[in-house]
Amino acid sequence: MSDARKPFPFREFEPQWQQRWESEKTFRTPGPGDPDFDPTKPKYYVLDMFPYPSGSGLHVGHPEGYTATDIIGRYKRMNGFNVLHPMGYDAFGLPAEEHARKTGEHPAINTANNIANFRRQLKSLGFAYDWDREIATTDPEYVRWTQWIFLQLYNSYFCEETNRAKPVSELAAKGWTREQIDEVRFAYVANTPVWWSPDLGTVLANEEVEEWKSKGHTVERRPLRQWMLRITKYAQRLIDELDTLDWPDGIKMLQKNWIGRSEGAEVDFDVQGHKVTVFTTRPDTLFGATYMVLAPEHPFVPEITTAEQKDIVGSYQKSCSSKSDMDRGDLNKDKSGVFTGAYAINPVNNEQIPIWIADYVMMGYGTGAIMAVPAHDERDFEFANRFNLPIVQVVIPSDLPAGYGVLMPLKTAFCDHGIAIHSPPHGWGLKDPKGERYCLNELSTAEAKAKMIDWLESNAKGKRRIQYKLRDWLFSRQRYWGEPFPIVWKDGHHHAISDSELPLLAPPLDDYKPSGTPEPLLSKATDWVNRPDGSTHETNTMPQWAGSCWYYLRYCDPGNTSRFISKEAEAYWSSSNQPSTINHQPSGMVDLYVGGTEHAVLHLLYARFWHKALFDLGHVTTPEPFQKLVNQGLILGEDGQKMSKSRGNVVNPDDVVKEYGADALRLYEMFMGPLEQVKPWQMKGVEGVSRFLARVWRVACEEQTDGFYQISPKIREVPCTDKELLRVVHETLKKVGEDIEKLSFNTAISQMMICTNAFTQADVVPLKEFTQFLTVLNPFAPHLAEEINARVAAVFNRPAHLLSETTWPVYNPEALIRSEIEFIIQVNGKLRDRLMISKDADEATATAAGLASAKVKEHTDGKTIRKIVFVPGKLLNIVAG
RNA sequence: GGCGGCUUGGCGGAAUUGGUAGACGCGCUCGACUCAAAAUCGAGUUCUAACGAGUGUGGGUUCGAGUCCCACAGCCGCUACCA
């Protein structure tokens, strides 16, 4: 730092305050069971997305959200809430294991070092966390309860009648066999094609594939035995209950799209005596289905393929399985496919349609088979044109003139809703004389869909079906650094281990290198794998998401050794007392959750799923985990690009703290712009807020000799006689409080700047008002505010209360009142004059004053006044022409 | 291709939800202090010489539009053959 800048001694007092808060446990939060817990106090739970403790330390993006929640937490505390504001570490993860591979060192060591560094950095920013509640997902005591929750899922199933999870013991009591029960457990084993990465030595979830591919790892598709979680059972509730949450619409939309509900029908086609079922969202277009397409992996393909087509079908299937590894994202690739030689019978008109296989139909969605309606589906249209398949139009736009009967050759598929025609094709405008219920002609798409589904169901040719894009959650990994499954195998069956054996921890390994086979790393530990009773441990581990699915629950009762959270703690921290912006009873436990958009889908969906299961099973009392969600915007580099090591535009929070102090970093991150907006870093902006803090310092403190300060003689214990100053102070008390509630921190800070400028210019700074100002500054810049307050208190012999423990000052509405205001005079909507008049001036007074203005006359001369609009206390608009 | 978000001075951003566009900060200019510089303090700063114009573009509603409606464009995210 250049010595030129006039500083304030933040390097001395910031660490001192941090030490004091720590040693006095200023921000410790008493909970149920603690002797000092007051159950009558309302709770407020404000949560940060806990970080993955990477080797590179905190990024400036982290303190953005953390400062926002810190301000809210401190503010709510000062308003009488019992605030839960905890921090922890999502500490399992591939990077620590990669490190272990290279060094041979146990990943726990590297993880502990990284956590220590994160903790040091977080503490250097003065956050008001209750450090007694700090947790890491890798702590054995934490792992115990992650595994315990897994067992709750393992031991329950989704009851379709009640639409909720229930214990499988209820099924056993009804006489279900073990095999039947294993079919319905939330946690189940399946042999499914998964993404396997040989060099990482693990299977990846669909959503992780791109990330690791972009880091240069290879990924291939392989069928493997994996643990899955039946999240799809909750698809509908995960959509419906979004309505009970105060989340940004964009995030709700992302989750809905990810779950991907579509309504339609299953239709059965007869193929040489076999039934092939397709899923369609457009059953109304069944008369336009001119061919069928199966996914290349569809199990019926070998059965139905004719002898002549066998070779070509086989080689196409082969090319697809290798192609899917490479560029399946390649959009512009032409449609490909081959004819199987087989035909299916369209159930509505008994016509034969050819069956093809093509890689644009995927096994993983719907039934892996489609009826192709080229006239009304773009992909089918493109395919039909490529392979000269017939195109039959059965829907026309509803805005075509009545009686329009000639079909134009289609240039593109018509995919919108419209009016059904040729269904069946007895000519335009005619109804089928034989069976009216079977004629869709002239019906709107919605009506035609409903009618067709009725027909399918009453003729046993198909049924209504709701389809989701969401797949079951691939929950096993072949890594070392994750929670082992609390499962053992005996005689080919899986069993839960008893709760008393938890936590089940992985033994240290001689080396952490992947074997190159899909065999999990833990299988190397043969002593551990084989149990004395002849059973073997499951060697897969859980994904990193597991720990982050429930950490917000553990914060409520982190030391509990007999339950994952006590009933009392759960009940208290779930109690709802916050006003909601939605028209619903709040349903979430955490009042405010702040974090980045990158978790919009996966983490937030997985955590909701676990929470709902725990809710159904009676372990928690709210149906949702997070009531209000706010996404902080990305902080870009000074060049407007995303911060990255390769671009060299990364800002390290440590450097900023060293040069400008923690308060300046906190304040700058809040002053940059709205929390949710993407915004670029500007070091000059940090200097700006640092100057502001120095100005606040100088209102109170005058430098004597180098490094020694004395309270400014301007500060006096006198009533505030300066009406204007008093008004600015009370406007600040009002606006800062309101802005914090709205999370509009940048405007709160600008108001505090205005207030500081007023103090700087005042000859006398009244102690009471200045202290009130420091109190509202405190959540933003707690070190500086406490330091000045302590110094001032000492000089005036006042008790040295921490500002953090005082109550939020209430503004006096009377201090805000101005007797005269600037009144705007417009002519035809354009500003022409400003007059000082009484705030309460009535229309007649204002009109007279306005018309008397010389500036107004210039613009109304020679015109007739047609109308005068009067807005009390604001303006007058004279309409002249 | 689909969905979502954004667009206001040289820059980051304000604007009571239809009522003074540009608060606050950065940068810049000038002045004070200083031998000088830095720091600090003070004044100014949308564009234009001016009339005027002005919130991505074009239209509309209104006494009045950054704000509401219609059309379009440009950036940024996420997602992707989902039947």
For A70-82, the pLDDT digits (tens) are: 999 999 999 999 9
Q: What is the pLDDT of residue A438?
A: 66
Distance A728 CA to B54 C1' (A): 32
Spatial neighbors of A367 by CB under 8 A, at least 6 apart, are A266, A277, A278, A279
Residue with tokens 């950490």, as numbered in its chain: A551
- The answer to whether the C-beta of A11 is closer than 7 A to strand B is no
Summarize pLDDT for A628-642 with one digit per residue, the tens: 999 999 898 888 888
Summarize pLDDT for A550-608 with one digit per residue, the tens: 999 999 999 999 999 999 999 999 997 666 666 667 789 999 999 988 888 889 999 99
Nucleotide nearest A675, from its CA to each C1': B13
Summarize pLDDT for A491-510 with one digit per residue, the tens: 999 999 999 999 999 999 98
Tokens of A323: 């192609």
Beta strands in A651-796, from DSSP E residues, in sequence order: 679-680, 701-703, 709-711, 715-716, 765-766
Identify the residue whose Cα has the smallest distance to the C1' of B78. A254
Which of A580, A689, A570, A583 lies closest to A621, judged by CA?
A570
Convert A694-727 into a string of H (helix), E (strand) and C (coil): HHHHHHHEEECCCCCEEECCCEECCCCCCHHHHH
Residue with tokens 């916050």, as numbered in its chain: A578
Summarize pLDDT for A697-754 with one digit per residue, the tens: 999 998 876 668 889 999 999 999 999 999 999 999 999 999 999 999 999 999 999 9
Q: What is the pLDDT of residue A330?
A: 47
Identify the residue whose Cα has the smallest distance to the C1' of B77. A597
Spatial neighbors of A259 by CB under 8 A, at least 6 apart, are A235, A238, A239, A468, A469, A470, A605
Distance CA A158, CA A168 (A): 9
Assign A625 to helix, strand or coil.
strand
| Section A638-650 average pLDDT | 83
Global ipTM: 0.95
A690 or A800, greater pLDDT: A690
- The answer to whether the C-beta of A760 is closer than 7 A to strand B is yes
- The answer to whether the C-beta of A680 is closer than 7 A to strand B is yes
Q: What is the pLDDT of residue A865?
A: 87
Whole-number mean pLDDT of chain A?
Answer: 89
Nucleotide nearest A681, from its CA to each C1': B12
Q: What is the pLDDT of residue A787?
A: 96
| Section A10-35 average pLDDT | 96
Q: What is the pLDDT of residue A69?
A: 97
Do residues A342 and A355 make contact, with C-beta atoms less than 8 angstroms apart?
yes
Taking the stretch 125-154 of protein chain A, residues with Cβ within 7 Å of any atom in nucleic acid chain B are none
- The answer to whether the C-beta of A577 is closer than 7 A to strand B is no
Output the pTM of the full model. Answer: 0.93
Of the listed ranges A12-21, A639-648, A862-871, the least confidently predicted one is A639-648
Nucleotide nearest A877, from its CA to each C1': B63
- The answer to whether the C-beta of A379 is closer than 7 A to strand B is yes
The percent of residues in chain A predicted with pLDDT above 90, rounded, is 65
Nucleotide nearest A368, from its CA to each C1': B83
- The answer to whether the C-beta of A761 is closer than 7 A to strand B is yes
Assign A221 to helix, strand or coil.
strand
Taking the stretch 14-53 of protein chain A, residues with Cβ within 7 Å of any atom in nucleic acid chain B are none
- The answer to whether the C-beta of A331 is closer than 7 A to strand B is yes
Taking the stretch 620-649 of protein chain A, residues with Cβ within 7 Å of any atom in nucleic acid chain B are 642
| Section A688-702 average pLDDT | 93
Of the listed ranges A108-112, A637-641, A666-670, the least confidently predicted one is A637-641
Distance A251 CA to B78 C1' (A): 10
Taking the stretch 426-485 of protein chain A, residues with Cβ within 7 Å of any atom in nucleic acid chain B are 467, 469
- The answer to whether the C-beta of A359 is closer than 7 A to strand B is yes
Taking the stretch 726-745 of protein chain A, residues with Cβ within 7 Å of any atom in nucleic acid chain B are 744
Measured to protein CB atoms, the chain B nucleotides within 7 Å are 3-5, 11-16, 19-21, 23-27, 37-42, 53, 63-65, 76-83
- The answer to whether the C-beta of A413 is closer than 7 A to strand B is no
